[in-house]
Amino acid sequence: MPRPDPNSIVLTGASGGIGTALALEYAAPGRVLLLVARDPDRLQALAAAVEARGAQAEWAAIDVRDRAALRSALAAFDARHPVDLVLANAGVTGGLGPDRSREPDAASDRQFDINLGGVVNTVTALVEPMRLRGRGQIALVASLAGLRALPDMPSYSASKAAVVAYGHSLRGWLKPFGVSVTILCPGFVTSPMSARHKGAKPFEISAEDAARRMRRAIERRAAIHAFPLLLATGIYLQGLLPPKLADLFMKGFEAEIDPDPRFERE
- Residue 143 is which amino acid? S
CA pair distance 94, 80, nearest whole angstrom: 37
Q: Which long-range contacts (CB under 8 A, 24 or more apart) does 127-134 make?
A: 127/170, 127/174, 127/179, 129/78, 129/82, 129/83, 130/83, 130/86, 130/174, 130/177, 130/179, 131/174, 131/177, 131/179, 133/82, 134/177, 134/178, 134/179
* Inter-residue contact 61 to 38 (CB < 8 Å): yes
CA pair distance 210, 200, nearest whole angstrom: 18
- Residue 95 is which amino acid? G
Burial class (CB in 10 A: 0-12, 13-18, 19+), 160: buried
- Residue 125 is which amino acid? A
By annotation, the residues acting in catalysis are 156
CA 64 to chain centroid, in Å, comes to: 12
